[in-house]
Amino acid sequence: MTSSLLQLVEIPQRGDARGSLSIVELGKTLPFTVKRAYWIHGTRPCVSRGYHAHRELRQLFCCLRGQVTLSVSDGLTKEEVVIQAFGQAAILGPGLWRVMSNFSEDCILMVLADREYDEADYIRDYEEFRRAKNHG
Ligand code: TYD
């Protein structure tokens, strides 16, 4: 998959006879220091989430189980990727409207972020997002 709005990265795995171990490490897979981690799970069928952009936040989206569709837009271009457990992770910078949909029932979506939670960093109104991107 190629994408220009988001960066897709392989998460290295070390496997041996006991099983597998996946690694996300600063300066290798991860381009920022993590200040916060959260994960989304138990998503009800047909639910989509997100519908916001961030002013500054950088994030890595990584599926620990199942899969989810991640759609991002800069107001002009839209890209969609399926994030799967043990597949590629997606790194999102600021200024991207995002929607997560088609969660598998078992999906556990882990997000690593470079800032603490701050509601002021969210743009939750799509028209405001378009104006902030000078497309409105
Ligand atoms: P939100 O980011 O709006 O979820 P999504 O984009 O997946 O739909 O967060 C949902 C709620 O959880 C919202 O009330 C804010 C709160 N929240 C925190 O308190 N801390 C956090 O780190 C995050 C990500 C959300």
- Kindly report the protein residue whose alpha carbon is nearest to atom 13 of ligand 1: 119
Q: How far is CA 95 from CA 30, 38, 87, 109, 129, in A?
A: 19, 20, 25, 21, 8
pTM, full prediction: 0.95
Q: How confident is the model at residue 135 (pLDDT cuts 50, 70, 90)?
A: confident
Q: Select which of 41, 52, 54, 135 is catalytic.
A: 52
Q: Residue 75 C-alpha to ligand 1 middle, in angstroms? A: 22
Per-residue pLDDT of 50-93, as tens digits, reads 999 999 999 999 999 999 999 999 999 999 999 999 989 999 99
- Give the confidence band of 3 by pLDDT, cuts at 50, 70, 90: low
- HEC string of 59-75 equals EEEEEEECEEEEEEECC
pLDDT per position as a tens digit, 93-134: 999 999 999 999 999 999 999 999 999 999 999 999 999 988
Active site residue 52: yes
Which residue(s) pair with 17 in the sheet? Answer: none
CA of 105 to the centre of ligand 1 (A): 20
Q: What is the pLDDT of residue 134?
A: 82
Asked if residue 43 has pLDDT above 90, the reply is: yes
